[in-house]
Amino acid sequence: ALPVPLPTLGGVVAGVLSAKVVRTPFDVAETRAMAARSRGSSAAPGKLESGSDGGQGWAWDGSWAALREAYEEEGLLGLYRGYGANVAYKLPADAAKFLAYEALRGTGVVGALPPGVAGAAATLAASAATTPLDVVRTRVMVNSTTGSIVDAFKSIAASGDYGQLWAGLSWRIVRGILAGGIQFSVLEKTKDVVEGRR
């Protein structure tokens, strides 16, 4: 039988909404620091000025400077730029991943698949299908003038280059296979330990 989706979907929604409240400022710092380095910006990683933070310190990669710049230019909302885009990407990505995993582990012949294989396949499929959403959320977080998810999609549509929506797909496939295999292998092993199985 197909897995009952409601408990899984409920867990995904609760997890994503709460986790992104914590993670979005870090995502903003990470994506802006990477963008600054790729552009060769004067604020790029490794080029932080010395000051009250005592020099480069732990923020040698430029992430602290990017976070501070976002706050100074846009206030608290700048730290949460892309929260909606993050949620719009992560909800379908995680829902697809966990539902696919449960289906691969619990139906028919493929029920014999080990957790690592089923997890890798589920994460691969979810990552590939949601690549356009990941591209859009990254644009929203990096560029303060991009606006909403809709604006980002409109910008790509106006350029006529729809291939942009699939930027980074090959790396996402590789990451999905490795991360999914590890994640669900550890998940099932942890469940076994907690539930007193071997």
In tens, the pLDDT along 130-159 reads: 999 888 888 887 776 666 788 888 888 888
State the Cα–Cα distance between residues 151 and 177, nearest whole angstrom: 31
State the Cα–Cα distance between residues 82 and 118, nearest whole angstrom: 31
State the Cα–Cα distance between residues 41 and 150, nearest whole angstrom: 27
135 in helix, strand or coil?
Answer: helix
What is the average pLDDT across 68-80?
A: 85
* pTM, entire model: 0.69
Report whether pLDDT(121) > 70: yes
Report H helices in 40-168. Answer: 63-74, 76-79, 83-106, 115-129, 131-142, 149-159
- Look at residue 145 in the predicted model and tell me its pLDDT: 64
* Structure-model confidence comparison of residues 31 and 190, the more confident one: 190
> C-alpha distances in angstroms, 117 versus 20, 64, 96, 184?
28, 38, 16, 9
In tens, the pLDDT along 81-107 reads: 888 888 988 999 999 999 889 888 875
- Look at residue 4 in the predicted model and tell me its pLDDT: 58
